[in-house]
Amino acid sequence: MNKYDTVIFDLDGTLLDTLDDLADSVNYALSICGFPCRENAEIRSFVGNGVRRLMELSIPDGLSNPKYEKCLAEFRSHYSVNMQRKTCVYKEITELLEELSKKGCKLAIVSNKFDKAVKGLNKVYFGKYIKVAVGESEDTRRKPAPDTVFKALEELGSTADKAVYVGDSEVDVQTAKNAKIICVGVTWGFRDREVLEQEGADYIIDSPLELLKIINYQE
């Protein structure tokens, strides 16, 4: 009998490579507001704490800038209609989800992206496999608070002791710890292995299909 029957995934940097679309929308908003654009490498390091934090780090003087709210609104508006232009599924992810689904594994996505975007991207890319997708909203605290994880577990009819959390950043490791579930860090996303090791991920994998061994679906 498998110890784990539930997998909760982060979205950006874990299932989807969203960096180019995020960068395009950040730089569109910065340009509209008269600010200098950012390099993709900078934006890569800013991703993971939700769009408010992303824009706070992207604009000069952050939250104290009087154009912060306008810039954030421009980003949201642009990204809502441009979030699928360059975004792509990471290699082996579809195969992994297929295998997990065949085994009857319960699957969910939790993200610090705004809820509408999370549900929209899930429907387009993973709707065949994943039925529960939870993003940031007014009544749900963003990660590393465990709210999104608890909400996903409730919707799936599962419990923390039966679940593993899969993500690519320090925020994901902290979220798993706060939810008291096993964390599997992935190295193909927006952070390096060293970050995941320092934060104390329970496992670290270099390719998606390695997850099957951790949850005992493969010898």
Domain-wise residue ranges, the chain: 6-17+87-214, 19-82
8 A C-beta contact, residue 13 and residue 191: yes
Please give the CATH architecture assigned to the domain spanning 6-17+87-214: 3-Layer(aba) Sandwich (3.40)
**Residue 111, pLDDT score:** 95
The Cα–Cα gap between 94 and 183 comes to 20
Amino acid at 21: D
Cross-strand bridge partners of residue 8: 108, 165
Nearest to 51 by CA among 79, 92, 86, 93: 79
Amino acid at 34: G
Q: What is the mean pLDDT of each run of 10 residues along the chain (219 residues)?
A: 88 96 97 97 91 95 97 95 94 97 96 90 95 92 94 97 96 97 97 95 97 77
Please give the CATH architecture assigned to the domain spanning 19-82: Orthogonal Bundle (1.10)
**Residue 93, pLDDT score:** 98
**Residue 196, pLDDT score:** 97
Cross-strand bridge partners of residue 203: 184
pTM of the model: 0.91
Omega before 60 cis (within 30°)? no
**Residue 217, pLDDT score:** 58
**Residue 219, pLDDT score:** 47
